[in-house]
A = this chain, B = another copy of it.
């Protein structure tokens, strides 16, 4: 089980954005440089964030992105689901009448994974961008 870079980058970029968008829109180029993320990749990610109304864009010279809500209104759930980083723990489709083994009964671990899914989602629903703004970049060690 792991978290992919796409979700990680999305959160990093948004934290960066939240810190710098107070006056002007922030260009992806700046975020790319500050956070060390490929510009082209960032564009893909922001295209999704925009489709999900997490950011707004201004085109042209001096353009860039701005958060479309306040940091405390943007939950991690929103960010991660926007970039298709879904927490998928059960294997079966929940609506389906079949378990992940193709049989009519749920597999022996179904309930376990379902519980875990809830556990993780709860975490992501509680955390907002605001919470991440507090801890400024700390030294390693």
A86 at the interface (CB under 8 A from B): yes
Copies of this chain present = 2
Check A140–B97 contact: CB distance below 8 A. yes
Please state if A36 and B103 are interface contacts (CB–CB under 8 Å): yes
Nearest B residue to A16 by beta-carbon distance? B108
User: Which residues in B have their C-beta under 8 angstroms from that of A92?
Assistant: 140
Q: Chain A 72-106 against B: per-residue CB contact (8 Å), 1 yes, 0 no?
A: 00001000100001111101100011111111111
Which residues of chain A from 87 to 141 have a CB within 8 Å of any chain B CB?
87-89, 91-92, 96-109, 111-113, 115-116, 119-120, 123, 127, 132, 135, 137-141
Q: Report the Cα distance A97→B102, complex, angstroms.
A: 48
User: Which of these binds chain B: A3-11, A43-51, A63-71?
Assistant: A3-11
The answer to whether the Cβ of A15 comes within 8 Å of any Cβ in the partner chain is yes
- With A86-B1, A116-B123 known as contacts, the answer to whether A105 contacts B12 (CB < 8 A) is no
A135 → chain B, closest Cβ, in Å? 5
**Is A52 an interface residue when CB atoms closer than 8 A count as contact?**
no
Residues 1-51 (chain A) with a chain B CB within 8 angstroms: 1-5, 7-8, 11-12, 15-16, 35-36
- The answer to whether A137 and B106 touch across the interface, beta carbons within 8 angstroms, is yes
